[in-house]
Every structure is written in C-alpha cells, then in structure tokens.
Chain A
Amino acid sequence: MIPEIGQFLLLLALGVSLVQGVLPLAGAQRGRADWMALARPASYAQFILVALAFVCLTASFVRHDFSVLYVASNSNSALPLAYRIAAVWGGHEGSLLLWVLMLAAWTAAVARFSRSLPIVFVARILAVLGLVAVGFYLFMLVTSNPFDRLIPAAADGRDLNPLLQDPGMVIHPPMLYMGYVGFSVAYAFAIAALIGGNLDATWARWTRPWTSAAWIFLTFGIGLGSWWAYNELGWGGWWFWDPVENASFMPWLVGTALIHSLAVTEKRGGFKVWTVLLAIMAFSLSLLGTFLVRSGVLSSVHAFATDPRRGLFILVFLVIVIGASLLLYAWRAPSVGLGQRFALFSKESMLLVNNMLLVVACGAVLLGTLYPLFLDALGMGKISVGPPYFDTVFALMMAPLLLLMGVGPLMRWKQDDAGSLARRLRWAVVVAIVAALAAGWAMGRISPATTGGLFLGCWIVAAIGVDLVERLKPRAGLGGSVFGRARLLPRAMVGMMVAHLGVAVFAIGVSMVKTYETERDVKMGPDSSTEIAGYVFRLLSLKDVQGPNYNAVQGRIEVSHNGRVIAMLSPEKRIYRVQNNPMTESDVDSNLFRDLYVSMGEQLPNGDWIVRVQHKPFIAWIWGGCLVMMLGGALAASDRRYRLRQTRSADLPAGAGAAR
C-alpha cells in the first residue's frame, strides 16, 4: 500500500510541477498576476508531495518491504537501521528521488526567501525550476521508478553494497546533491534575468548567497567523498580522477568562477554576459554529471547499474534544457551592457583571468574524462586517461591560478599600477620562498616540485597577511584599536580571505603529503613490530569479530613514538555475508600534522598477515582546507547586505557598500 501511495504522490508532484513550470512563466509574459501568484504555492505543494513520497520509500526500507524491487536490490534483513535509511539513495532510482527532493527543497526555499524580489522575476525563477523538476519526474516515472513492485516478493534482499555501509558514505551523496541541485537556483536566476532582460547589479546581489550556499555544499560533498575514500578503500589514496569524481569537480570549478564573476557584476556591473554563461554552465555540468553516472558511457566505480535507454532519456533532457538555455543566451546576450569601464591592469581584468583559468581547468578535466569516448566514437582505438595525465596537467593549470590568488585581492578596481603592486607584495614573495624552503628542510628533503607547491600556498597566506595589514592601518575616520577596526571589516571580505586561506591550506597539504608520504608492507604475526618515520607499530593480537552483517578478522596494533604508546589501531578484514565480498577496513590515527594509516592485506598460509603501514604528513590539511573554504563561503554569504530586507532595488546604486 505504501509504495502505491508513494507512486501516486510522485504523479501528483509531476502535475503540480507542470503547473508551476508553465503558468507563472506564461503569466510573466502576459502580465497575468493570478498565474504568477501560483508559483509560490505550487513550489510549496511540490515540496510537500515529493517529501512524502520520499518518506514512503524510506518506510519501505525500514519495514523490510522486499516486495518493492528497489528495496530488494539494495537492502537486507540484517542491514542496520541507519544503513537501511542510507540505502534509500544507494541505488539509481532512489538517488533520483533524492535529487528531485533536493530540487523541490531549494525551490521552496527560493519561494520562501524571495519576498523582496519583483513577482515577475520570482514567477520566472520558480517556473524554470519547475520545468527542470518535470524532466526528472518524467525520467523517474518512465524509466526508473523506485516504487516498482517485485512479484513474487523476494525472501530477502541482496544487501547494500558493503562499500556504502559507512557513515561518510551516508552523508556524502546528500551533500553532493545539495551542491549539484543548488546550482539550479543560480541557473534559474540567470534564465529568468535573460528572459526579462534585466541583468544588473541587484540581480547579482540576489543570486550570490544562493550560489555561495550551493558551492559550500558541493565543497563539502567532494571533500567528504575524498575523505571517505581515504578512510574506507584501504589503499591510502584520496583522489583518483575517476570520471564520476571529475563530474563533481567540474561544476565546482565553474561554480567558483561564477562566484567571482557575480562579485564583479554586483560591484561594478561588469561581466554580466560571463556571469550568465557561467551560471548556465555550472548547472549544465551538474546535469552532465548525472548523465555520465547513469548512462554507461564511461566506466567508473561510482556508476550505477547502467541502461542505455536511461542514458538516452537524460541525453534528450540535456539537449532540451541546455540547448534552450544556450539559445536564449545567444539571443539575449548581445544586448547586455558592458558595465563600468576598467583598465587592462585592474582587479576586474585579473578576475577575468581568474575565471578564464578556472574554466580552462574545467575544460582540461572534461577533455581528459571524455577523450577515450571521443577516440572510441571515431573508431580510433581505445585508450585510458588516468591519474598520471590529470595530476600533471591539473597541477600546471593550477599554478598560475594560485599565483594570481595572491595578487588579485590586493589590486584596485578600475585601474592599478604594476610598480606599486610589486612594491606592496615584495615581502610576501620573500616570506613565501623562505617558508617553503624551511618546510622542505624540516621534512628532511627539499625537492623542486614540492617547493613550488609550498611556495604557492605560503604566497597566498603571505599576500592575505599584507592585505590585512593594509586594511587594518588606522586612517582618517577609522581609529580605535586594531580589533575595533578588524570588526568593521565587511564580512564578505573576511569570507574571501578565509576561503583563499582554505585553498592555501589545501595546496600545502597536497604538496606535503605527495612528496613526503612513506609506506611499508610487512608480514606480521602476534607480537611482531615494524617501524616507519620514527613510529613503532606492534601487532598485539588478531581476533575474530562478528558484525551485524559481516565476519571479520581484527588486528590490534599498538603505536608508539619515542617509547611512549600514543594510539591503538584496529584494522579489520571483513567478509560481508550476503554478497560474500571481502572489504578492507583500515584504521587511522590522525592529528594536524600526520596520519598513521594501517590496513590489512592478505593472510599468509602460516596465519600471519600482510600489513601495510603508512605515514602521511599533513594530509589532514587537505580536508581541513576544504572546511576552511566552506567557512569562508559561509562568512561571505552571510554578509549584512544579503540579510537586510531590501525594499526597493532601485534605491541602491551598483557600487554601494564598502564590501567587494
């Protein structure tokens, strides 16, 4: 009964989103207030309907309803409750329902928090979001229905993939989808502005917090995925340039460019055409990612069970959505103004270079990901493009960008002078070089590539330092203590500094860990020990462990440093009973400066185990950097000017406020 209710709710949601998509849009064209007024209620109704449908699916999982095909394929009677709920989005059909739930949630949020926007604009935005939702509902109901019945019902389910039975895995997809779907809001704002012909600074100001929020979620989702892979997969790696990883990274790169572009449009009225195109691109890349994961076109560990029929549906949907958007763009963009004037050497032009580099980096990732498909489609053979290619190319793309990150924030709008800029930054260069060399020396080995990476990270930090010092200098009308002046700094500016700091932390972490990580594979029986980087690992015992749905051998390993015991690690080798596949559960001792990573390999005939111990310096800075970036984004998005109720947009000139 419950699955049928869920199915019915989805059908209703489709109907409501059709109404939401068509009537307000038509109403905005014709000036019909009653049609436009339907937009908000329809958004709320759609959200309630799809949320209830989601509850129905969750209930089916919790109740072990194996008469639902999707539940039977992804759950099991021994699966713990938390993972039964996570299993709702563990497969293709359920993850689509999650996607559309997120879309409805963002739409409802826009409906709720857009009181100060003109109704014509709101109607168009909500209509665009509604039309996108229509596509997803149709996709689900036609090709991927999570409520399909299995007759006769299965006696027991096939269990959730053991790789997904982990806390990190539980929140990673929802956070990622919040990011992907969140970019639909910026997209809808852009389309609505193109249709209405009113691209201006106020439009940019309204779009910014939504875009920042989506970006924060996406950063979190990607960082979580990387952290989860590191902890869960047992080999100590954290990024593989797998096609689906790339599919999440590309919208992030373009989303970052979009945030910067919106900043200029809001402040100086410039880059409007760019901003609109980036907004369309970011969401298009989200949709492209959806296609790549589910169509079977690329081979990936993340791919859902693929079906070319589903792939075709998504492709047609992509053509309609993106094609129409780009057509609208081509039609409207030529008449959009250029904003305020700026010189060749100015903050605006540096921001343009920044966006260019981000888009080119995204293009390079896209090229590498799709190149095997291009060659195969042209009958020119099959190749693989993997980490050796991406690591090299991406590092080269990022170097100029990181360099620019030190310079850009210090430049003046409209016009700047290279000489004075160089003078302001000269100490930052020196400090960065010294710090990079010192770090390399402290780690025991100075290598050119690492010094380059460390320099770039330290350079960004040093440049932020220079910026802060300049801004906190007392001047006319700005006295008092340093702290008093610091508190007056606009939150958006602090957010920018913090976010850039996050990037620097990330870059330093990557450089350090890639150069200085060490590992050792040893054969261990009880009471044997090994040493790496000054840490001694002693295997105390091996014991058999029974989990709820798995059997395992657990090693108890005592870690000591300078004679003192500092940690007890318990790596396991598990066999999940239903699917009968082995899983390596590694254990990690983390602190700010190093990770000690232990995983069990194979068991030897004499009962000993092959154990891999790894020392990874500064790896926590990789995820720490992501968290700091997120904090920066949150600070920037919560700046006062977004929270003030704007009564009339015409009151505020484009350059208002001391913030950037």
Chain B
Amino acid sequence: MRRFLLPLALFLVLVGFLAVGLRLDPREVPSPLVGKPAPAFQAVALARPEATIKRDDLLGKVWMLNVWASWCAACREEHPLLVDYARRGGVPIYGLNYKDKREDGLGWLRRFGNPYTESLFDPDGRIGLDYGVYGVPETFVIDRTGVIRYKHIGPITPEVLRDKIEPLLRQLNA
C-alpha cells in the first residue's frame, strides 16, 4: 500500500516548492559582489571633466553608488527620493552616469535635481560592467573598508529606504 502513496508524496513536495516559488521573482539576479570589495575604478567626473575620481579616494567613509542615466524612465521615479535624502543630509551618494552623453546627463540633473556629491562619467559602461550592472537604476551601499554591503535593483522606494537602507547605514556608521 505504502509504495502507491509515493506519487502523491512526490507531488506534495513539488507543490511545496511551487508555493514558495509564487513569492519569489525569477527575474531578479542577486549580485555576487555583496560582501566583496567594490571593484576599483578611475573615472572622470561628469561635471568637471578635468577631475578624476578613484575608488580608493572613497575609503574611510560609508557611501552609496547610484547608477542612473538620462534615458532611464525608472530613474525619474526614484530621483525625488534621492534628492530629498541628500537634502536631509545623509550618507554621500555618488552617481554613476551609465552609457550616457555628458550634456544629456548634466541637463537631466539640472532639470530634476542633483543629489550626488559627484557623478562618475561612464559612457562605455565599463565601470557598470565591473559592478554587474544589468538594469538601470541600481544602488549599492559601500562601507568604510570599501566592501559592498547591499545592492538594490530597480528604483528605490520609500519602504526600501526606510526598512533596508537606512538601518544598514546606521549600523555601518556606528
């Protein structure tokens, strides 16, 4: 009798997985870089073409890297949040202007506000590639020792900011 229950048992195990699967997003790709040192970069600043910013310049402080572009519609959604955050005086946000034209990027910042301490100019997407960027916008939280601690894919929502990012920043700054 018992071996005839095997198909049912296997089926219920399958259903268990499928039920859990309903709450997961198969399209989301978690970053393998979380917990690893932020990849080195040496980029020209968007606003000041003569200046270079290196990753090592940012060691010793907690900071966020926000990947954005003037052609990215979803970036407009999160931008007011970032502008507001910067105004309230939080952790420095550095922008990564990804695969964009300099004038378009600067113009976009003039129109919608500039929350960034500085924006890195990445017209070819090389820095983005090193950071595993696949969709814009994306945001990284990097700690004092230069290790990536968190990555958010997609626009930042007030909930994510309040429940995930700000507590992490407080913890890292303590």
Contact = CB atoms under 8 A, between A and B. Distances in A.
B88 interface: no
B60 interface: no
B12 interface: yes
A426 B7 CA distance: 40
A85 interface: no
B15 A319 contact: yes
Nearest to A376: B24
Interface stretch (A221-229, A329-337, A439-447, A628-636): A329-337
B26 A330 contact: no
A312 B19 CA distance: 7
B7 A299 contact: no
A372 B26 contact: yes
A298 B7 contact: no
A333 B7 CA distance: 12
A308 B26 contact: no
Interface of B: 1, 4-5, 7-8, 11-12, 14-15, 17-30
A308 B22 contact: yes
A377 B7 contact: no
Contact of B30 (A284, A298, A308, A381): A381
Interface string A298-334: 1100000000100110010011001100110110011
B8 A377 contact: no
Given A297-B26, A382-B30, A327 B8 contact: yes
Contact of B29 (A295, A296, A333, A382): A382
Interface string A269-309: 00001000100110010000001000111110000000010
Nearest to B7: A326
Q: Which of B7, B23, B27, B28 has most chain A Cβ within 10 Å? A: B7
A156 B94 CA distance: 43
Contacts of B11: 284, 322-323, 326
B18 A297 contact: yes
A310 to B, nearest CB: 10
B26 A298 contact: yes
Contacts of A372: 26
28 contacts: A281-B7, A284-B11, A295-B18, A295-B22, A296-B22, A296-B25, A298-B21, A298-B26, A299-B27, A308-B22, A315-B15, A315-B18, A315-B19, A318-B15, A319-B15, A326-B7, A326-B8, A327-B8, A329-B7, A330-B1, A330-B4, A330-B8, A334-B4, A370-B17, A373-B17, A373-B26, A376-B26, A377-B17
Identify the 6 closest CB pairs spanning chains A and B, nearest first.
Answer: A326-B8, A377-B20, A297-B21, A330-B4, A299-B26, A330-B5
Q: Which of B1, B4, B12, B19 has most chain A Cβ within 10 Å? A: B4
A301 to B, nearest CB: 12
Nearest to A310: B22
Contacts of A277: 7
A506 B21 CA distance: 36
A319 B17 CA distance: 13
A323 B1 CA distance: 17
A374 B8 contact: no
Given A370-B17, A373-B18, 13 more contacts: A277-B7, A297-B26, A298-B21, A299-B27, A319-B15, A323-B11, A326-B7, A330-B1, A370-B14, A373-B21, A373-B24, A376-B21, A376-B26
B17 A374 contact: yes
A312 B1 contact: no
A445 B12 CA distance: 50
Q: Which of A297, A315, A319, A373 has most chain B Cβ within 10 Å? A: A297
Contacts of B27: 299
A284 B20 CA distance: 20
B135 to A, nearest CB: 14
Contacts of B29: 382
Interface string A377-391: 100011000000000
Nearest to A327: B8
B24 to A, nearest CB: 5
Given A315-B15, A382-B30, A297 B22 contact: yes
A373 B27 CA distance: 11
A376 B15 CA distance: 15
A315 B4 contact: no
Interface string A359-377: 0000000000010111011
Contacts of A382: 28-30
A427 B58 CA distance: 77
A1 to B, nearest CB: 37
Contacts of B4: 273, 329-330, 333-334
A77 B88 CA distance: 51
A284 B18 CA distance: 14
Contacts of B20: 377
Contacts of A319: 15
Contact of A312 (B8, B22, B25, B26): B22
Nearest to A377: B20
Nearest to B9: A326
A280 B7 CA distance: 10
Contacts of B15: 315, 318-319
A78 to B, nearest CB: 26
B28 to A, nearest CB: 8
A291 B21 CA distance: 12
B148 to A, nearest CB: 17
B83 to A, nearest CB: 31
Contacts of A323: 8, 11-12
